[in-house]
Each structure stands twice: as structure tokens, then as C-alpha cells.
Amino acid sequence: MVCFIGRSNVGKSSLIKALFSLTPEVEVRVSKTPGHTKKMNFFRVGKAFTLVDMPGYGHRAPRDFVEMVEPYLYSRKNLVRTFLLVDGSVGLQKADLVALEMCEETRCPYVIVVTKIDKCGRGALLTNLLNLQEVVNSQTTGCFPQPFLISSIHYWGIHLLRCFVAHVTGSVRLKDTSQGGKDANQCH
């Protein structure tokens, strides 16, 4: 099981739709209205794993966001990765730092996904990425060190993130050629 969490209007539903565009059973609706996702949405990806689309936090978040999301993150033993989405065009916000702290407290491995990299100039994106990397280096212990850079509109970075999700969920086994082609142990 994996979950996607981020501020309202960060592009969670758009990212999930792009990631699983080749998987017809994952039907995601994308709204033009920020904060449209009000409940946790569960998607079964074939027989491989379950994906959870969390409601957005911050502006237009559901009133019961913390009561809904926090216990879920703390209690799920089968949650192999949390994907924390950050809007690349605005960088880390206060609400993102709170979510990052929550991810640290759960002690479940998590990954930062920088969305909307097509929506800002390179200078602003570079500044936001440098600030993000400084926070990752100084304030995290459970975060995957490399953020994934994504544009759901242009599909930039989608294939790499799709492969990463498949790997961490055990949907793809890597061959260890040093041991005569035996399957390598999965690392979560």
C-alpha cells in the first residue's frame, strides 16, 4: 500500500491519473476546484497493491483532516511508502513542513514528489529545489534523499516515478546478476 498526500491543489489527483493512465481499473477524476478530494480514496492496482489518495491539507482542507489522516498513517502496517507532494511553482509552505514533520513522526519511509515543474521559470524552480534539499538534508531521517520532479501535464518524470512505485510495492522484482540471476531481496 502507498499513499499520496499534499496541500490542496498540489496536483495529487492529476499525478495519480498520469501515473496509472495505463491501468484502466484506476479511474481518477480530476476537478478544477481545489480541495475537491474530501475523503481518502482507495484504488486497487490490479492484484499488486492499493493506492490511497488523501484529501488535501491547508486551504479548503476537510475539517476532520487531521483526525482522518494521522491515525491512518500511524496505524497502517502495510503502508510501504508515503508520497508527499510539494508544488514546485511555490516551493515548501508552512503546511508542507507540518506534513513533513508528521511523516517523520510516523517512521514510515516517505518520498517527496515535486509537482507542477512546468508551471514556473527555471530560476524559481531551482530556488525552490535548493530550499527543499536543504530541509531534506537538515530535518529528515526517513525521507528518500532524491525528490522526484514531475509534470503531470507533459508526463515529465512519470515513468521513473511509476517504476519506483512498482519497485517499493513489490510489483517488480529486480534480478541480482551477481548471484546467478536469483531474485534480489526486496528492500522497503
Which pLDDT value is given to residue 186? 39
Q: Give per-residue pLDDT as tens, 79-101.
A: 999 999 999 999 999 999 999 99
Q: Is residue 28 part of a domain?
A: yes
Polymer length of the chain: 188
Cα(156)–Cα(150) distance, integer angstroms: 5
How many structural domains comprise the chain? 1
- At 59 the pLDDT is 73
In a domain, 174, yes or no: yes
Residues of the chain short of pLDDT 50, as ranges, are 31, 181-188
31: domain CATH number?
3.40.50.300
Residue 187 lies in a domain: no
Cell of 4: 499520496
State the SS3 of the chain. Answer: CEEEEEECCCCHHHHHHHHCCCCCCCCCCCCCCCCCCCCCEEEEECCCEEEEECCCECCCCCCCHHHHHHHHHHHCCCCCEEEEEEECCCCCCHHHHHHHHHHHHHCCCEEEEEECCCCCCHHHHHHHHHHHHHHHHHHCCCECCCCEECECCCCECHHHHHHHHHHHCCCCCCECHHHCCCECCCCC
Residue 6 lies in a domain: yes
Please report the pLDDT score of residue 128 as a whole number. Answer: 96
pTM here is 0.84
Domain-located, residue 36: yes
Residue 183: per-residue pLDDT? 45
Asked, for residue 85, whether it belongs to a domain, the answer is yes
Location of C-alpha cell 503502508: 79
Containing domain of residue 166, as a range? 2-179
**How far is C-alpha 170 from the chain's CA centre?**
17
Residue 185 lies in a domain: no
Q: Tell me, yes or no, whether 27 lies in a domain.
A: yes
